[in-house]
Amino acid sequence: MNAPAQSDGTRRIQRVGIVGGGQMGAGIAEVCARAGLDTVVAEADAAGALAARERIAASLERAVQRGKLDRISAEDALARILFTGDLEDLADRRLVIEAVTENADAKTEIFTALDKIVEDPEAILATNTSAIPVMRLGMATRRADHVLGLHFFNPVPVLPLVEIVSSLHTAPRVADSVETFVRDTLGKTAVRSQDRAGFVVNALLIPYLLSAVRMAESGFATAQDVDAGMELGCAHPMGPLRLADLIGLDTVAAIAESLYDEFKEPLYAPPPLLQRMVQAGLLGRKTGRGFHTYGRDR
């Protein structure tokens, strides 16, 4: 017996849009383009679009220099990406992934706009949020059944995991379609999570990072010794404070606040030192200084 024809919601995804060309958005766009997909990156303006292009070009060049990608493939990938300062250029996309700053109001505004712009009612709208409820973003649209979380990890071209997060409204066939896309098209491993703050990975990771911050804050051990202890004593590839710097201390604090708001558990509360560092603009690698100091070219 022949299988029923696939509906629009489960057709193979070939046209992808990314909202936001920062560290995460650029990484997502790169892996999509390297997978042969027609990719559009939408930034707030032309200057942001140019910065996104430069960020992806630099990442592809690093992959070439490290022998992970040949130059022709890198050039082809960059050529598959359209960079724009206009959300309207996402109108024909089959999947749009929002990857802007971890701010609920900003993300909600984008989903409201995308719902009006993206023409195909069966198109899927996804968020790369680390902790904001997917339900909230879905309810900002008229297609909550086609909204889900698609959470990549930094650096996106390197790390193989993606969390797929369904809200109470997300249609099962939509989540299944996205899982197939993640696995078969992007070549990554997918795990499923319920729509709760932190999902799977950050619900486990953030308390660990916050514990390390508290240890350094109390003077119990230096940041260098905390990280050396976990790297050399527990065989972790990166210590917790260096990892927090890589993620971005502002992002760590935002995820912690979302977790604490939902569960009211003290282990999720961002420590005062973390909050002060964010206020001071000491956000980790992206600003050159966090718990450790970094060269600006890194």
Distance CA 32, CA 182 (A): 10
Distance CA 22, CA 207 (A): 26
Residue numbers annotated as active site:
130, 151, 163, 202
Q: What angle do CA 95, 98, 104 make, to 5 degrees?
A: 140
Nearest to 137 by CA among 192, 190, 96, 79: 96
Say which residues have a Cβ less than 8 Å from residue 235's Cβ, sequence separation at least 6.
none
Distance CA 113, CA 45 (A): 16
Residue with structure tokens 């940041």? Answer: 223
Contact at 8 Å (CB) between 137 and 127? yes
Nearest to 181 by CA among 9, 52, 43, 25: 9
Residue 77 DSSP one-character state: H
| Helix and strand element counts for the chain (H, E) | 11, 8
The tokens describing 92, both together, are: 């024909």
Contact at 8 Å (CB) between 74 and 60? yes
Pairing state of beta strands 161-166 and 189-194?
A: parallel
DSSP string, 213-232: HHHHHTTSS-HHHHHHHHHH
